[in-house]
Structure 1
Amino acid sequence: VHRLGLNVPVIAIHTVDYPSPARRPAYSVLADRKFELEQLNSMRPWEDALDDCLLRYREELFRG
């Protein structure tokens, strides 16, 4: 929301409070340590990917 320059409240909730048909682990993170050990391409920081995505789809996001 901040990256889009929007001034709206964001309310944090726990995963258990979000209705989803998929079962999720209580704690999971995206890690590319195994890729690094195998000298494969590692993922770029998620913040950079999010910024690129928001720039690319900004108009569509606001159009709805």
Structure 2
Amino acid sequence: MAIWIPDLSNRDGPKYLRIVEAMAEDIATVCLPAGTRLPPHRELAYQLDVSPNTTSRAYA
């Protein structure tokens, strides 16, 4: 099973909002289908090189 890792490279603004925007875009384009489990906060934070607080804020 692949882990969802958003592409934040062409986005501006706070990192947590970049994650939210990428998530919304990937849901809209079915790159992130309904029912897909998101990675744990810490794992996504590690993959994106951000703090776990940033991913927690995006998930909230």
TM-score (norm 2): 0.29
Higher helix share: 2
| Structure of higher RCO (CA pairs closer than 8 Å, 6+ residues apart) | 2
Larger radius of gyration: 1
